[in-house]
Amino acid sequence: MARLNTTITITAGTPINVAVALSAQAKVPVKSANRIFVQLDIGGTGNGSVLSGVPVLDTPSATNAAHLTARLAPATSTAPGGSYADVNPQADIDLTKFWIDGSHTGDPVIVSAETRQV
């Protein structure tokens, strides 16, 4: 297991896959984790969306109730926004089915995961 931290920049309405973002950070494929933490970073202004368990062939969407796991409150210029955490000791959080979206382009989102690299 390895702890990976990255900041994702939101493009509103275009969900970003967490496995892809963390794999780019790690420079190796990352597919699963036993812990994940997501938080809207200081300076953002829009809401965030966490989408997990999105089937592989589905196009992820924050407007699809079957995809939406959590909505995160916006950050401010001096304080971080809402956060989401998930824990599964068997490293069964499938990051390939885990997406982040938001309502305001350019907002930063912190993603931290204790991952299992493949």
pLDDT along the chain (118 residues), means of 10: 92 96 91 96 96 93 95 97 93 92 98 82
Residue whose pair of structure tokens reads 């202004």 in the numeric block: 45
Q: 25 is in which domain, residue-wise?
A: 2-117
C-alpha to C-alpha distance for 85 and 113, rounded to whole angstroms: 9
Global pTM exceeds 0.85: yes
Find the CATH number of the domain harbouring 31: 2.60.120
Per-residue pLDDT reduced to its tens digit, 90-117: 878 999 999 999 999 999 999 999 987 6
Q: Closest Cα to residue 103, out of 77, 78, 85, 81?
A: 81
Count of domains for the chain: 1
C-alpha to C-alpha distance for 5 and 44, rounded to whole angstroms: 18
Q: Count Cβ atoms within 10 A of the Cβ of residue 9 and give its class: 0-12 exposed, 13-18 middle, 19 or more buried.
A: middle
